[in-house]
């Protein structure tokens, strides 16, 4: 760890990411900031950036995928028993779990969160309730996944990564509109990557409403990940014997250095002493169950750590430039590569063959080549966390490369 302009920084971020966290930290309401080892530039706040505010919260900092996070469960199954059947297992998962943008789930999950009074307290959320019901238990696109992995003892884990789906996106957009004196459902002009974070005072009615809505989206994300993991466990004919579950896009009210602060973690995992979390790498890398440890460096990190390996190549750099062009066979417009990127299908699949990973879906922009290695970023945080379990992927299911989603990170 090194300190740059009073900001503790882990790893070796690029200049654009450093400039962004410095810009965030200049606000007079900021009490502290930190940058994790997996950091890269994001909308208004770096992904991997942690900002602690006095009496304010940032809906742009939390981001569009409110409460994006990871759930992992250990099962009684053994990897040796599953490996010979992993292709069939991944076929079944890819058929059963709903991936993609704007998709509806067929699970018909009836959950107590739909009785939460917040749906009535904030009328705009009430309008979104039917959409939320329909999408509960869908995974989305981009770097969101459902994985089957094995730990160091050969035990099988099921892990999924996604957030609050359309509810979270529309909630974030709505409150960014309200903060700019527009109506909740107005068509938003869209955030610029380099704009400063939008802040809402938590002492105002608007701030209290945002916190209430964000927490509802958090419950929704937990419920969605629960539903997907349960669905996969049923497919495998097993049950969970251990569970780790956390958000990594959220704002928490926490005490640091004797002050009660709002800590916005955008792509960062809470890691208080003794608190377990789960961190994903890439489709061809490990996943880790971690636990926070105490110490001066952990305190400087605002008891936070990485949420993943960290992107080092943009989607366009990786997959190339695409345009919607007619398919010669069907005439239907499909995304077509018109300028190749740095990663080829052969490169991606060779990596997965070498690691023994069975992939369903996934695009070149999610290839292992576009991410740092997770062991490296975990090593950078060695004084703030310990690795409890190392999970190696047997099978990975993601949305297909044809899915286009502007807010999929």
As a whole number of angstroms, the distance between CA 253 and CA 270 comes to: 12
Res 403: pLDDT: 57
Question: Cα dist. 304→135, 259, 284 in Å?
Answer: 30, 17, 25
What would the DSSP string read from start to end of 17-39?
Answer: HHHHHHHHHTSTTEEEEEEEEEE
CATH topology for 2-400?
Answer: tRNA-splicing ligase RtcB (3.90.1860)
Res 191: pLDDT: 73
What would the DSSP string read from start to end of 201-266?
Answer: ETTSHHHHHHHHHHHHHHHHHHHHHHHHHHHHHHHHT--EEEEEEEESEEEEEEEETTEEEEEEEE
Res 409: pLDDT: 39
The bridge status of strand 385-400 relative to strand 358-362 is parallel
Q: Residue-wise pLDDT tens for the chain (409 aa)?
A: 999 999 999 999 999 999 999 999 999 999 999 999 999 999 999 999 999 999 999 999 999 999 999 999 999 999 999 999 999 999 999 999 999 766 666 666 779 999 999 999 999 999 999 999 999 999 988 899 999 999 999 999 999 999 999 999 999 999 999 999 999 999 988 778 889 999 999 999 999 999 999 999 999 999 999 999 999 999 999 999 999 999 999 999 999 999 999 999 999 999 999 999 999 999 999 999 999 999 999 999 999 999 999 999 988 888 888 788 898 888 888 778 788 889 999 999 999 999 999 999 999 999 999 999 999 999 999 999 999 999 999 999 999 866 555 444 3
> Contact, 258 vs 299, CB < 8 A?
no
As a whole number of angstroms, the distance between CA 406 and CA 337 comes to: 17
As a whole number of angstroms, the distance between CA 225 and CA 65 comes to: 14
Q: Partners of 386 in the beta sheet?
A: 291
Q: Where are the domains of the chain?
A: 2-400
Res 408: pLDDT: 41
Hey, is 359 helix, strand or coil? strand
Q: Partners of 269 in the beta sheet?
A: 305
Res 246: pLDDT: 98
Tokens of 40: 């890269």
> CA torsion sign, 46 to 39 to 254 to 120?
positive
> Contact, 288 vs 387, CB < 8 A?
yes
393 sits in which H/E element: strand 385-400
Contacts of 98 (CB under 8 A, 6+ apart): 104, 105, 106, 137, 138, 139
Tokens of 35: 């940058």
Res 106: pLDDT: 65
Rounded to the nearest 5 degrees, what angle is found at the Cα of 267, between the Cα atoms of 269 and 4? 90
Contacts of 210 (CB under 8 A, 6+ apart): 57, 59, 175, 200
Q: Partners of 4 in the beta sheet?
A: 7
Rounded to the nearest 5 degrees, what angle is found at the Cα of 58, between the Cα atoms of 305 and 379? 10
Tokens of 252: 């928490």
């Amino acid at each position: 760890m090194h300190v740059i302009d009073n900001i503790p920084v882990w790893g070796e971020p690029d200049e654009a990411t450093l400039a962004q966290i410095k810009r965030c930290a200049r606000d007079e309401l900021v009490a502290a900031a930190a940058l994790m080892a997996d950091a890269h530039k994001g909308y208004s706040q770096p992904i991997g950036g942690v900002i602690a505010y006095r009496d304010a919260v940032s809906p742009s900092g939390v981001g569009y995928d409110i409460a994006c996070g990871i759930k992992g469960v250990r099962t009684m199954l053994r990897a040796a028993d599953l490996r010979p059947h992993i292709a069939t297992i991944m076929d079944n998962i890819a058929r059963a779990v709903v991936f993609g943008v704007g998709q509806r789930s067929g699970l018909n999950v009836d959950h107590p969160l739909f009785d939460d009074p917040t749906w009535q307290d904030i009328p705009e959320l009430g309008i979104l309730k039917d959409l939320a019901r329909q999408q509960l238990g869908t995974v989305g696109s981009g770097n969101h996944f459902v994985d089957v992995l094995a730990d160091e003892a050969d035990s099988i884990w099921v892990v999924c990564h996604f957030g609050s789906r359309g509810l979270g996106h529309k909630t974030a957009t709505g409150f960014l509109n309200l903060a700019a004196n527009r109506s909740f459902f107005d068509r938003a002009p869209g955030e610029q990557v380099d704009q400063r974070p939008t802040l809402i005072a938590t002492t105002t009615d608007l701030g209290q409403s945002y916190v209430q809505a964000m927490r509802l989206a958090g419950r929704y994300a937990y419920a969605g990940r629960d539903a997907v993991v349960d669905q996969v466990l049923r497919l495998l004919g097993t049950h969970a014997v251990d569970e780790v579950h956390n958000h990594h896009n959220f704002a928490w009210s926490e005490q640091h250095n004797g002050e009660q602060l709002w800590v916005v973690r955008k792509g960062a995992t809470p890691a208080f002493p003794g608190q377990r979390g789960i961190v994903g790498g890439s489709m061809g890398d490990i996943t880790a169950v971690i636990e926070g440890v105490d110490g001066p460096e952990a305190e400087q990190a605002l008891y936070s750590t990485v949420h993943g390996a960290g992107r080092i190549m943009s989607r366009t750099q990786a997959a190339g430039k695409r345009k919607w062009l007619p398919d010669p066979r069907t005439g239907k417009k499909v995304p077509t590569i018109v300028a190749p990127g740095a990663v080829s299908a052969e490169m991606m699949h060779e990596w997965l063959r070498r690691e023994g990973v069975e992939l369903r879906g996934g695009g070149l922009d999610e290839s292992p080549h576009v991410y740092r290695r997770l062991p490296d970023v975990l090593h950078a945080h060695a004084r703030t966390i310990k690795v409890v379990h190392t999970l190696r992927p047997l099978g990975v299911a993601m949305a297909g490369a044809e899915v286009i989603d502007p807010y999929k990170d």
